[in-house]
A and B are shown apart, each in its own frame.
Chain A
């Protein structure tokens, strides 16, 4: 469960990137985070994961305050950041084991998960190579695998589908559904509205640092009956917020 309560973030120069947002993502839910470029999506994700501190408000991950008890809160979630160029000089297998050690995953369990995920994401032949030699999509896959191996209760993914091939994208969506159906939480940002429609229980739309809609897509469609496509719906919400 992720609880975001009246959170604001002001960058130096008085630029308010996030303005008093409140969202609760319950256990068992997949929530998509949508918004135009520069709307405050990444800043929000950075605050949820403890990379940035909010100026106001509180963020709880499974009831643990990320600012007051950061270490305990960080054990509750796994993050796929927007930039997958991490630890490029490590081999894929070294990266996975590094992350698994950080989350204190047992040796035999991680071995089993590495083998399964490597097969699912077609990465078996790449694990022994340095991440530097990977394509953009492969880098994205190894970072996603790092989260899936540790299997924390909350998954936070910033644009996870970017660069993924159709098979891997399908596998990831499958894993996200599976994770939520086990009573866990998945929160991810995306620009692909179709993904949000097919995968999410709810969507949060952010614009100019404020949440302009939070609920199911059905609720959103009911609010704007004139819009026939998802794009129209999105533009309507963003432009008239």
Chain B
């Protein structure tokens, strides 16, 4: 046990950090406070949603169902996120070679790593469940054991979904050698998860129509019978929910029992399979094929510096799964989501009216062009910043940022090359979005052209301010590439600003008096053009100063 505790402590100390190792303590405290403030709206939404739903469900003796839904939400979030987390911690972490060489049992390594994962997941479960508990408490009539059982649930809830994803990973890594390559694993898993998400959404939609009568029957049966819906996903949910809301001790013991059995299964599987899968998991393959004369000639052509630099950055993003999923997959995802929208909303009255006639009527209105301009500018911010390419441009360099400093290329040109890659990917997203929307929203083609043109301007602006934010405080100290994009406060702020500007532009255009709408739209367009050029120029200028300080 001493080895297990010592290893857990070491792993925790060398684990995840939002800031880099150089950041001062006050800055870290400030960042955590800022993150907490950012989470407040989410906590508020959960609180008010539970408060609003509780009376109706309570009247039908289904009050635990509301809590069950939130437990389900926590479990599903933990499960999905851990599908990426578990392989990187258990199989692809840089400490693995050292740990495998130490006199440790597989269960000690699995136990310590699993404990670290569980501790990380408490943030999720606590931020979802605490506001729900508050809403229940305020609603009143809660059992005496509400609070202790609630705390036990927060502590134990992440274990079951984590056991599922760990078992899935351990079995996969042992029996499917294809996945032993970290890049392939992350890439395939990411694409599968997107497909899974869409599939799940379609499945839930179809469930809504198919099982309506069964659901109604369960709803009116009372006794929190609706909770049984969750059993097929996570069997612990009904027991934990009933234990908290009804103060039921047997239900709590049942939930704890299932959790212990899950842990025992994981430990047994780990004992049998972990070492066999972990040894050699960091290896990468090579073709050892000599370049032909023709390929060598083709590859050796002299190129423009900025274009070469941009291509280099693109290749790095394309070939690094963590960057690919966070920076490029969105380009594929947006149009797919747009195409999936009519599919998902079938049966909700869309066929009740003719879309073509509606669009013709909208197009004929005098203000339509103004709305197109406003919406295009707004969406340009969203697509420009969502890919995070500019917002993580320096952070992605990590410890190798010094290469930027000794290359014979000006900082301004390097930053512009990085920025232009973000703009290019943002533009591809804009165009892909327009093309996919054209398939079911038959507006005149030139409106789509206007959309692409206007959104390009704010895409440039979004990327310019994003790269300036990253230049100001890049996250250069990280162990896994994913940390450069996923645990990067600067890029999070850049995306939030992009979303806020998008929302502001859309909301504002609805408050402008009709007589001023067209003038305002062209005014906004002109202002964005000036700002985009200004920020593009400033980004280059700021790069010279910021890079010298790094």
Is residue A170 contacting chain B, with contact meaning CB distance below 8 A? no
A89-B319, A129-B287 known; A114 vs B300 contact (CB < 8 Å)? yes
Which residues 64-113 of A sit at the B interface, judged by CB distance below 8 A? 71, 74-75, 79, 81, 83, 85-87, 89-90, 93-94, 97-98, 100-108, 110-111
Q: Contact string, B396-410, partner A, CB cutoff 8 A, digits 1/0?
A: 000110110111111
Partner of A125, one of B288, B297, B405, B407: B288
Query: Is there contact, CB below 8 Å, between A97 and B300?
Result: yes
The contact string, 1 if C-beta is below 8 Å from chain A, for chain B 232-270, is 000000000000000000000000000000000000000
Partner-contacting stretch, out of A2-10, A47-55, A160-168, A189-197: A47-55
Contact indicator B316/A46 (Cβ below 8 Å): no
Closest partner residue, chain A, to B548 (CB atom): A53
B217 at the interface (CB under 8 A from A): no
- Interface pick from B75-83, B192-200, B302-310, B328-336: B302-310
Inter-subunit contact B284/A133 (CB<8 Å): yes
Check B302–A105 contact: CB distance below 8 A: yes
Decide if B320 is an interface residue (CB 8 Å cutoff).
yes
B406 touches A49 (CB 8 A): yes
Q: Is B9 an interface residue (CB 8 A)?
A: no
Q: State how many residues of chain B have any CB contact under 8 Å with chain A.
A: 36
Task: Tell me if A89 and B400 are in contact (CB < 8 A).
Answer: no
Which chain B positions have C-beta within 8 A of A97?
Answer: 299-300, 303, 308
B287 near A102: Cβ-Cβ < 8 Å: no
A162 to B172, CA, bound (A): 38
The answer to whether A50 touches B302 (Cβ under 8 A) is: no
Cβ of B300: which chain A residues have Cβ within 8 Å of it? 97, 100, 107-108, 110-111, 114
User: Can you name the residue of chain B whose Cβ is closest to the Cβ of A98?
Assistant: B312
B296 contacts A by Cβ under 8 Å: yes
Please name all residues of chain B whose beta carbon is closer than 8 Å to the beta carbon of A125 when the two chains form the complex: 288-290
Q: How far is the CA of A128 from the CA of B299 in the complex (A)?
A: 10
A238, CB-defined interface residue at 8 Å: no
Provided the pairs A79-B406, A107-B302 are in contact, do residues A87 and B319 lie with their beta carbons within 8 angstroms? no
* Contact residues in A for B213 (Cβ distance below 8 Å): none
Is A115 at the interface (CB under 8 A from chain B)? yes
Query: Is A127 interfacial (CB 8 A cutoff)?
Result: yes
B176 in contact (CB, < 8 A) = no
**A89 close to B315 (CB less than 8 A):** yes
B408 touches A129 (CB 8 A): no
Is B301's CB under 8 angstroms from A102's CB? no
Distance between Cα atoms of A61 and B409 in the complex (Å): 17
A to B CB contacts below 8 Å, 21 in the list: A49-B406, A50-B406, A51-B406, A71-B408, A71-B410, A74-B406, A86-B403, A94-B299, A94-B315, A98-B309, A101-B308, A102-B305, A102-B408, A111-B296, A114-B300, A124-B290, A127-B290, A128-B291, A128-B295, A129-B287, A130-B319
- What is the interface of chain A, defined by CB distance below 8 A to chain B? 46, 49-51, 53, 71, 74-75, 79, 81, 83, 85-87, 89-90, 93-94, 97-98, 100-108, 110-111, 114-115, 124-130, 132-134
Residues of B within 8 A of A (CB): 284-291, 295-297, 299-305, 308-309, 312, 315-316, 319-320, 399-400, 402-403, 405-410, 548
Identify 15 new A-B residue pairs, CB closer than 8 A, beyond the known A98-B308, A100-B300: A50-B406, A71-B408, A81-B406, A86-B403, A87-B316, A97-B303, A101-B305, A104-B302, A125-B289, A128-B287, A128-B295, A129-B287, A130-B284, A132-B284, A134-B286
